[in-house]
């Protein structure tokens, strides 16, 4: 029995602006994806990392990882991704060997997640939760709107909301069933836990971490560089 991490890294990073695919962009001189792989391998629980690369960038990602001296004793594999995040995760799952019973799914775009969060997610799954997501309370009040008119239709109680992060952790069978039965991105599930919810399986939230934020827009890169600089000081 073992724990594997799947890292979807096949997105283009459209919201970050033109340039290299997001996961391959540099953060403190090191590609974002390398940070993300290291963040997973820092956890003693994780023995295998499957990186899901842009379909036209598998060789480039392989060379990039080889060039950055990844940790000894960890199995790192690369597979080609798909058109959507969901498809990329599915392709990553298909590459897992049989003995894997716990799967983490971690965005390459969350390069700075502390190992404590990775360990806490694995521990919660090992303790019996079928699906676990790290999450944080929201700073902003959230409004629901009618997208046609921009009229506010509701204000969910903020204290009951959590902004969820990755790695999300799952019993392998639970995640595999979700990916085999829940329809694609267009139907609304924007994360793996959302797919699992649709299969009727309970998802539990554990405390997330501010530094596990997702690099999505240009300002996030500024923040990520600042966090790294502070760590290195
Ligand atoms: N991802 C993926 N395959 C896709 C789309 C996304 O593996 N077809 C990955 C991204 O590489 C990223 C993670 O899913 O690590 C989270 O997605 P997001 O932050 O939305 O990244 P992008 O899709 O690359 O960014 P954008 O939506 O701005 O284009
Ligand atoms: Mg995206």
ipTM of the predicted assembly exceeds 0.90: yes
Point out the residues of the chain with pLDDT beneath 70. 185-187
Shortest-distance ligand to the CA of residue 108: 1
Per-residue pLDDT at 187:
62
Handedness of CA 18, 22, 25, 26 (dihedral sign): positive
Q: Which residues line ligand 1 (CB under 6 A)?
A: 8-15, 22-23, 52, 81-85, 88, 107-109, 214, 216
Q: How far is CA 204 from CA 7, 41, 105, 161, in A?
A: 21, 24, 15, 13
Q: Which of 6, 10, 11, 91 to mutate to test the pocket of ligand 1 (most atoms within 8 A of CB)?
A: 11
Look at residue 70 in the predicted model and tell me its pLDDT: 81
Q: Which of 84, 70, 94 is nearest to 11 (CA)?
A: 84
> Does the pTM of the predicted model rise above 0.95?
yes
Q: Are 19 and 25 in contact (CB under 8 A)?
A: yes
**Per-residue confidence (pLDDT) for residue 109, from 0 to 100:** 98
Q: Which atom of ligand 1 is nearest to the CA of 21?
A: 24
For position 186, what pLDDT does the model report? Answer: 58
Ligand nearest to the CA of 51: 1
CA of 188 to the centre of ligand 2 (A): 13
With beta carbons less than 8 A apart as the criterion, state whether 45 and 53 touch.
Answer: no
Give dist(CA 128, CA 56) in Å, integer.
39
CB 145 within 8 A of CB 153: yes
- The domain at 2-135+162-232 falls in which architecture? Alpha-Beta Complex (3.90)
Between the CA of residue 171 and those of 82, 102, 147, 197, what are the distances in Å? 23, 5, 36, 13
Q: Which of 55, 51, 17, 4 is nearest to 31 (CA)?
A: 51
Burial class (CB in 10 A: 0-12, 13-18, 19+), 39: buried
Token pair listed for 225: 């560089």
Query: For a substitution probing ligand 1, which of 84, 109, 186, 191 has the most ligand atoms within 8 Å of its CB?
Result: 109
């Amino acid at each position: 029995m073992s724990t594997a991490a799947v890292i979807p890294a096949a997105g283009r990073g459209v919201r970050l602006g033109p340039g290299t695919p997001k996961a391959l962009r540099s953060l403190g001189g090191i590609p974002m994806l390398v940070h993300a792989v290291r963040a997973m391998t820092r956890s003693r629980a994780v023995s295998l990392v499957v990186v899901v690369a842009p379909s036209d960038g598998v060789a480039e990602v392989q060379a990039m990882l080889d060039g950055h001296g990844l940790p000894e004793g960890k199995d790192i594999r690369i597979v080609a991704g798909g058109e959507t995040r969901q498809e990329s995760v599915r392709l990553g799952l298909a590459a897992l060997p049989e003995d894997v019973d716990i799967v983490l799914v971690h965005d390459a775009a969350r390069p700075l997640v502390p190992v404590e969060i990775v360990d806490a997610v694995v521990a919660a799954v090992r303790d019996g939760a079928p699906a676990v997501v790290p999450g944080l309370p929201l700073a902003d009040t959230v409004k629901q709107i009618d997208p046609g008119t921009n009229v506010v239709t509701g204000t969910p109680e903020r204290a009951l909301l959590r902004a969820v992060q990755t790695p999300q952790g799952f019993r392998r069978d639970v995640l595999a069933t979700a990916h085999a039965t829940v329809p694609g991105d267009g139907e609304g599930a924007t994360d793996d836990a959302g797919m699992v919810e649709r299969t009727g399986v309970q998802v539990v939230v554990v405390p997330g971490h501010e530094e596990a934020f997702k690099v999505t827009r240009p300002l996030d890169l500024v923040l990520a560089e600042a966090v790294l600089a502070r760590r290195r000081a």
